[in-house]
Amino acid sequence: MPELPEVEVTRRGVAPYLDGKVVVGVALRAEGLRWPFPADLAGKITGRTIRAVKRRGKYLLLEFDHGTLIVHLGMSGHLQILPLSAPVKKHDHFDLVLEDKLMRLNDPRRFGAVLWHERGKGAAESHVLLSSLGVEPLGTEFSGKLLYRNTRNRKSAIKQVLLSGRIVVGVGNIYASESLFQAGINPETPANRIGLARYERLAQAIRSILTTAIEQGGSTLRDFSDPDGRPGYFQNSRFVYDRAGQPCLICGNTISQIRQGQRSTFFCANCQK
């Protein structure tokens, strides 16, 4: 599933092709994805200029003067910039057609989304899917203090609190395990039992790990218009994730695997207290 770093790399990859460009049309090859496509989407955005390509959590926001096209990649979505003559393949459900290129969404499992938020209803961030998201992990609001303040009444395990995305977005399963390892925090620790100093370390770890993943994704993806160009995210930098039974790279202790809320968690019981 595309995580925040993949979505950010996608944003950086497609933005140069979309910024300031006029939409010539759209192609819809399904009723919709997770939800139906917006009614009369072509009428809404044809002839209009894309003013900016932003991201909130895992949502891409294509801003127009009169509203925002919200795009989510779901479980299996992938955006490409292609020539106008590019042949249509299976699962190519949505094209945003520009004068000289098109942006195509391929999504085999169709859990992605293409939605429209009218400017008159307020900022895109007030959309029902976006309004309850936690802060951006790479933004200025995120800090150890924020984690500390928002967990004083939270008895759930810290790993679950991170995954919920309600305090901070974008810390998916891999990144939660890795951040907690880097910060030396056992993933089962109740969130309200972690002090400010440890939360400062955790916030720093989250920033650093997500930044590294974005840099690696960006560097392995030479050209976003390359149809076969899919980056390998964060595969060579994992200390614990998917390493059950192998020795900890720091202390040599065996890496443990447990289940938390249907998801696998990996950690070193010696390095993480």
The answer to whether residue 247 is catalytic is no
Which residues of the chain form contacts with Zn ion (CB under 5 A)? 248, 250-251, 253, 268, 270-271
Task: Spot the catalytic one: 56, 58, 104, 154.
Answer: 58
> Smaller CB distance to Zn ion: residue 219 or 253?
253
To the query of whether residue 259 is one of the catalytic residues in this protein, the response is: no
CA–centroid distance for 267 within its chain: 23
Given the residues 3, 6, 63, 178, the one annotated as active site: 3
Strand partners of residue 127? none
Nearest-approach distance from CB 254 to Zn ion, in angstroms: 9
Question: Locate tokens 């989407």: which residue?
Answer: 41
In the complex, what is the shortest distance from the CB of residue 180 to Zn ion, in angstroms, rounded to a whole number?
12
**Mind giving me the DSSP string for 61-90?**
EEEETTEEEEEE-TTT-EEEEEETTPPP-T
Whether 2 contacts 82, CB under 8 Å = no
Instruction: Please compute Rg for the chain using Cα positions.
Output: 20
Give the shortest CB-125-to-Zn ion separation in angstroms: 40
Residues sharing a CB contact under 8 Å with residue 193, sequence separation 6 or more, in sequence order: none
Give me the residue whose beta carbon is nearest to Zn ion. Answer: 248
Minimum distance, C-beta of residue 182 to Zn ion, in the bound complex (Å) = 11
Q: Which is nearer to Zn ion, 18 or 248 (CB)?
A: 248
Closest to Zn ion by CB, 9 vs 209, is 209
Q: Is 2 a catalytic residue?
A: yes
| Length of the chain, in residues | 273
Kindly tell me which of 75 and 251 has the beta carbon lying closer to Zn ion: 251
| Candidate list 29, 54, 201, 263, residue with the active-site label | 263
Q: What is the dihedral of CA 74, 78, 82, 84, to 10 degrees?
A: -30
Report the alpha-carbon distance of residue 89 to residue 120 in Å, rounded. Answer: 36
Structure token digits, residue 262:
């249907």
Distance of alpha carbon 24 from alpha carbon 4, whole angstroms: 29
| Alpha carbon separation from 247 to 48, 176, 186, 270 (Å, rounded) | 56, 19, 17, 11
CA distances from 75 to 1, 222, 225 (A): 4, 23, 21
Nearer to Zn ion, 219 or 246 (CB): 246
Query: Least Å distance between CB 240 and Zn ion?
Result: 9
Task: Choose between 96 and 271: whose C-beta lies nearer to Zn ion.
Answer: 271
CB of 268 to Zn ion, least distance (A): 3
Residues known to be catalytic: 2-3, 58, 263
